[in-house]
Structure 1
Amino acid sequence: MSGDHSTYTPRTGIARWLESRLPLPQMVYDSFIVYPVPRNLNYAYTFGGILTVMLASQILTGVVLAMHYAPDTALAFLSVEKIMRDVNSGWLLRYLHSNGASFFFIAVYIHIGRGLYYGSFKAPRELLWVLGCTNLLLMMATAFMGYVLPWGQMSFWGATVITNFFTAIPLVGDWIQQLLLGGFAVDNPTLNRFFALHYLLPFMLVGVVTLHIWALHVVGQNNPTGVEVKSVTDVVDFTPHATVKDAFGIVIFLLVLAYFVFYMPNYLGHPDNYTIADPLKTPAHIVPEWYFLPFYAILRAITFSIGPIDSKLGGVLAMFGAIAVLIFVPWLDTAKVRSAVYRPWYRLFFLLFVINGIFLGWLGSRPAEGVYVLLSQLATLYYFAFFVVVMPLLGLIETPRRLPNSITEAVLENSAK
């Protein structure tokens, strides 16, 4: 799709002058005006645009907040309070940024789920998927470091607990922990490093997102049927067909975000983080932000040793493995059919996977004791089994439903129904 000849024609002298030196208008025209997209895209496909808007919003609000923030353990908490009280619209910027992080993760989890459901990771889109997983890793690193910056109780103790897990890594664990902390404990050097990285990583994320979009335009957009484009009747121009749908989805998403910002700005935060950090007072229950809770539950589920791997190292490997396994999904799924619409058994197991992910999130918010540990272990087992057992086996034994011959045929069938 990327090799088609451009139909862009400059209409003014300035446009012709610019086109001969820097064909930016042609690139915009080809990529966002006449770029062909499958005609059957639904609203699940609007989350790519939503994520782009949220990334821009987080960077803009973050840059302004950084102008007033003081990365010092004696001043950080008070500087956040000053932003809220004394900076013009500071409360709005802070709430947009903090709630925006949560909604950023809501959108990215839905985006990943859509990719898993419709098989958007299958050839020739493997690199597109890997770049998306890289974006997720950068997002998680950025969010973790950003959570430390308010220097509340949960910020301090969350950083203490999570960085301590790096010491479980043989040979280099202590070195990695000291590199992150800038010393032997969470203190002023830690806050400075986390602030610098939290400011830098979003711009790295912009670069990888650009590659992600570029890769998408090279291989073309997947669609709910999983059938490749076969004729011009299968596609429509990106503008206005996709842009109008994306714009509507973005507006609805931002309205929900606005409701939280104006009516429930602290609902998604932890109450302990509104108390200044105190190294001498440990919270009763240390938990990360809600979007990390499934991985936190997986981390704590490993309470046993396997040979030379003790429970601490096993938990760290399981937590990072839960993210790393996503990268290998294109090669773990052996099915020839992309979309779960035509795979009844995969659709059932995927539904169980989604429920299991939500359940893991709830378990991550519970104390690591009693029945919660056993439930976390069972949920962790299914999480990994979905990727390394269900995906490979179902592709070999499942009988999919009949695929439509083209996207247009699928659209006409739906219209007839």
Structure 2
Amino acid sequence: MSGGHSTYSPKTGIERWFDARMPLPRLMHDSFVSYPVPRNLNYAYAFGGILALMLASQILTGIVLAMHYVSDTGLAFQSVEKIMRDVNSGWLLRYLHSNGASMFFIAVYIHIFRGLYYGSYKAPRELLWILGCIIYLLMMATGFMGYVLPWGQMSFWGATVITGFFTAIPLVGDWIQQLLLGGFAVDNPTLNRFFALHYLLPFMIAGVVILHIWALHVVGQTNPTGIEVKSKTDTLAFTPYATVKDGLAMVVFLIMFAWFVFYIPNYLGHADNYIVADPLKTPAHIVPEWYFLPFYAILRAVTFNIGPIDSKLGGVLAMFGAIVMLFLVPWLDTSKVRSAVYRPWYRIFFWIFAANAIFLGWLGSKPAEGWYIPAMQISTLIYFAFFIVVMPLLGLIEKPRRLPNSITEAVLAKSKGGAGHPEGATAAPADKG
């Protein structure tokens, strides 16, 4: 699916001249026009394109905002307010950027859950999955540093609390914290460093995205059946079939994005961040942005010492361990069947895991007191059990449904109202790739 002879044919002299010296048009044609994709892709596969669109939006709006922002603790808050009030369309740029971060994370979470559901991480796509996890990690770093820049109360205290957790790491913890802060407390050097990194990291993300797309074109796109392409009848040209579907999904997503920007621009933010940062006034309840809340809940779930590991270090290890689990998924899942469509028990556990992840996010927004603490602990246990227990064991004991012989067969069976393969058809053995 990733190979084959190029179908690009230059039509003018300029195209032929350009193609002979730097075949960029040929590369674009082969990657986004004639590139074959499975014919059964659904709208869950459109979020890759949506993420590319949101990355471009964040970079463009971020560059313009950086022209007006002042990374100084005495001027940062006022510079953001000046952008909102005095810069032409500054309010729009700021809301596009702040809400764009939330839309970016909504799209990436759907993208990750789709990958987990359809087994997009299995061989030969392990490196593709790992590159996606690296993008997610860079997004988290970018989002955290961007949250500090407005220099409101939640920005300041969020940075203070989160960077303070690094001190729990033995030997190098204090050094890491001081390196991030540029000193011993959140102050002007911190803001300058975070601004520089927040500006730089999106371009690093763009670079890894290029590698991600490259890896995708080498190994080929997965599909809801989890079966590899076996003939030309299993595929369609990327344009117009996939582009029209992706385009429609983008329009719907942008309508939702516009709703937040124009009607409820501060809904996903925090009111305390409209108060200038004050080191002498601690907010009643310090919380990060919503897209970090599940990991914040895991961090606070560890309230007890584990042998020589105190609760603070245990929480930090649990939080980072929750992210490491995503990197290990290709090797934790032992099933030879990719898609949850043909794995009835995995499908049940997957939806339990998805509901639990949302519940963890809600718990992360609550104070660490009362019944919220045992709820965080149980939900954290469920989170890790999905990766460490369910994935390895279920692949060994689960009996999957029979797979269709090809993607085309599955499509035809679905069009006839079948359950994934024609009745009486001879099913292929479980795909071992």
- TM-score normalised by L of structure 1: 1.00
Taking the aligned partners of 1:29 and 1:186, their CA distance within structure 2 comes to: 49
CA distance in 1: counterparts of 2:19 and 2:157, whole angstroms:
55
How large is the RMSD of aligned CA atoms in angstroms?
0.5
Work out the CA distance in 2 between the residues paired with 1:132 and 1:277. 35
Aligned mates of 2:181, 2:19 — CA distance in 1: 50
Structure 1 position 88 matched with structure 2 position 88: yes
Structure-2 residue corresponding to 1:28: 28
Aligned residue number for residue 323 of structure 2: 323
Q: Tell me, in whole angstroms, the C-alpha distance in 1 between the residues paired with 2:414 and 2:159.
A: 51
Q: Distance in 1 between matches of 2:236 and 2:58?
A: 32
Q: Distance in 1 between matches of 2:346 and 2:68?
A: 50
- Counterpart AA for 1:307: G
Cα distance in 1 for residues equivalent to 2:228 and 2:161: 47
Give the secondary structure class of the aligned counterpart of 1:287.
coil
TM-superposed CA distance for 1:2, in Å, is 3.0
Q: SS at the partner of 2:37?
A: strand
**Deviation of residue 190 (structure 1)?**
0.2
| Mapped partners of 1:394, 1:34: distance in 2 | 39
Distance 1:353 1:64 in 2: 40
Residue 373 of structure 1 is matched in structure 2 by 373
The one-letter amino acid paired with 2:393 is: L
1:216 maps to 2:216:
yes
Counterpart of 1:245 in structure 2 is 245
Dislocated runs of 4+, deviation >4 Å:
none
Q: Matches of residues 273-352 of structure 1 in structure 2 within 5 Å?
A: 273-352=273-352
Q: Give, in angstroms, the shift of residue 307 of structure 1.
A: 1.3
Unmatched runs of 5 consecutive residues or more in structure 1: none
CA distance in 2, matches of 1:360, 1:247: 33
Deviations 1:190-222 (A, max 9, x none): 000000000000000000000000000000000
Q: How many Å separate the matches in 1 of 2:361 and 2:179?
A: 30
User: What's the CA shift string for 1:315-360, capped at 9, x where partnerless?
Assistant: 0000011011100100000000000001010000000001000000
1:17, 1:360 → 2: CA distance?
57
How far apart are 1:306 and its partner, in Å? 1.0
Residues 125-168 of structure 1 deviation map (CA, whole Å, 9 limit, x = unaligned): 00000000000000000000000000000000000000000000
Q: Distance in 2 between matches of 1:91 and 1:52?
A: 24
Q: Supply the AA of the counterpart residue of 2:365.
A: S
- The one-letter amino acid paired with 1:393 is L
Within 1, Cα distance between the matches of 2:252 and 2:3? 35
Amino acid in structure 2 at the alignment position of 1:93: L
If the length of structure 2 is used for normalisation, what is the TM-score? 0.96
Structure 1 Cα separation of the partners of residues 146 and 274 of structure 2: 15
Report the residue type matching 1:221 in the other structure: Q
Helix, strand or coil: the match of 1:179? helix
* Number of residues of Structure 1 aligned to a counterpart in Structure 2: 417
SS at match of 1:352: helix
% of aligned pairs identical?
80
Whole-Å separation in 2 of the counterparts to 1:8 and 1:287 = 52
Q: Which residue of 2 aligns with 1:115?
A: 115
Residue type of the alignment partner of 1:207:
G
| In 2: Cα distance, 1:19 partner to 1:101 partner | 38
Paired letter, 2:412: L
1:5 to partner: Cα distance: 1.1
Q: Which residue of 2 aligns with 1:8?
A: 8
State the alpha-carbon separation in 2 of the partners of residues 404 and 121 from structure 1. 21
Q: Which amino acid aligns with 2:149?
A: L
Alpha-carbon distance in structure 2 between the residues aligned to 1:37 and 1:7: 15
Question: Within 2, Cα distance between the matches of 1:234 and 1:325?
Answer: 33
Matches within 5 A, 1:186-201: 186-201=186-201
CA distance in 1, matches of 2:235, 2:397: 33
Equivalent residue number for residue 62 of structure 2: 62
Q: Is 1:106 the counterpart of 2:106 in the alignment?
A: yes
